[in-house]
Structure 1
Amino acid sequence: MNKNYEAIKAHYAGSDAMDLAAMMAPITSRTAWTEMAGFPYAGTYVGPDAIIAGVFKRIGDEWDGYNLKLEKLVDGGTTIVGIGTYSGVYKKTGKPMSARVVHVWEMEDGKVLSFEQFTDTRLVAAATA
């Protein structure tokens, strides 16, 4: 089995279990994590501390029941692709959100070189307004 695929499969399992340590296991100090332009946390964060502070902590603080339902994980060797749906309720507005998402992971020896998110940012933004 592909070490890269297994690392990302474990990341998503950690996400389902709300286990931040498991989610961050394949992340290194060089990992570049890009949230799509138009997304509330848009930008590129490098390294685990920046990713946690810029993305995961903010999601936890601002959303109730924020979830990614992973529907497919594609093993492309050094490129792993996750396909699913985000959902949650934005705390400040009480509005729900559901948006399709694709994650593209570039990997090396079970570690994340880069992550890029593609999602319908308009659907996410509608919940925050």
Structure 2
Amino acid sequence: MAESPYISLVRAVYESKADPAVLGEVVHPEIVWDITPGFPGGGVYNGLESVVRDFFGPLLERLESFRPVGEEYYADGEDHVFALGSYHGVGKDGTAVAARFIHVWTVRDGRLAHLRQVADSLVLDRVLTG
């Protein structure tokens, strides 16, 4: 069975390791990026520029490395893709961390227009706060 084109969009984000060039191609410039409260930087970000600057900027300053790894993908036949996976990171002290996530993506005009994230924030917070 052929993969949904919407799953292909989402898969591109993870396989590129969130490469900014790829994000610029597949993510709508007016994306709503909704990060669960309690996760570092949790809140709602409006627009790709804000996501990169205001969410990823501060988060990546606190870690040596951080990347999302998509593991399973499901489409609902409409405009949503559900991605299950885990974040993999390394703290400034060298401590490795893996935290599970569920991302719900909404596609609009052929691009990713909304992300709603739920993640295991406790394990990441422990690495960030020592």
Tell me the TM-score normalized by structure 1.
0.85
1:61 aligned partner: 61
CA RMSD of aligned residues (A): 1.8
How far apart, in 1, do the equivalents of 2:81 and 2:117 lie?
A: 12
Q: Which secondary structure does the structure 1 equivalent of 2:37 belong to?
A: coil
Structure 1 residue 94, shift from structure 2 partner: 3.8
2:83 aligned partner: 82
Amino acid at match of 2:4: N
Is the Cα contact below 8 Å between 1:79 and 1:105 reproduced in 2? yes
Deviation track 1:17-69 (CA, whole Å, cap 9, x = no partner) reads x5211023222232100111001111111111101012222333221231222
Is the Cα contact below 8 Å between 1:74 and 1:81 reproduced in 2? yes
Q: Does 1:113 align with 2:93?
A: no
1:125 aligned partner: 125
Residues matched between the structures, number: 126
Amino acid at match of 1:90: G
Structure 1 residue 117, shift from structure 2 partner: 0.8
Amino acid at match of 1:65: S
Q: Which secondary structure does the structure 2 equivalent of 1:80 belong to?
A: strand
Unaligned runs of 5+ in 1: none
